[in-house]
Amino acid sequence: MEETIQDANMSEIAEPVLIRPLVKSDLPALEWDGEYLHFRNVFADVFKKVEKGTVKAWVAVSQDGRMVGQVFLQLSSDRRELADGWNRAYLYSLRVRQIWQNQGIGSRLMDVVEDDLKRMGYTRVTLNVARDNQGAIRLYTRLGYQIVAEEPGVWSYPDHKGIWRTVSEPSWRMEKKL
Exposure string over 117-138, b if 16+ CB within 10 A, otherwise e? beeeebebbbbbbeeeeeebbe
138 lies in the binding site for ligand COA (CB under 6 A): yes
State which residue, 76 or 128, has the beta carbon closest to ligand COA: 128
Q: Does 136 bind ligand COA (CB under 6 A)?
A: yes
In this structure, the strands spanning 154-158 and 55-62 are unpaired
93-112 mask for ligand COA (x: CB under 6 A)?
Answer: -xxx----xxxxxxx-----
Tell me how far, at minimum, the Cβ of 162 lies from ligand COA, in Å.
25
**Measured between alpha carbons, how far is residue 130 from residues 5, 37, 102, 108 in Å?**
33, 21, 19, 21
Q: Which stretch binds ligand COA (CB under 6 A): 2-10, 51-59, 88-96, 150-158?
A: 88-96
Does position 54 interact with ligand COA (CB under 6 A)? The reply is no
Q: Cα dihedral angle (140, 60, 8, 111), rounded to 10 degrees?
A: 10
d(CA 62, CA 64): 5
Question: Pick from 139, 147, 148, 178: which binds ligand COA (CB under 6 A)?
Answer: 139
Name the residue number minimizing CB distance to ligand COA.
106
135 is a site residue for ligand COA (CB under 6 A): yes
Q: Which of 52, 142 has the CB closer to ligand COA?
A: 142
Distances (CA, A) of 144 to 105, 110, 147, 172: 17, 11, 10, 15
d(CA 102, CA 62): 15
Instruction: Give whichever of 35 and 51 is closer to ligand COA, judged by the CB atom.
Output: 35
State the residues that interact with ligand COA by CB under 6 A: 94-96, 101-107, 129, 133, 135-136, 138-139
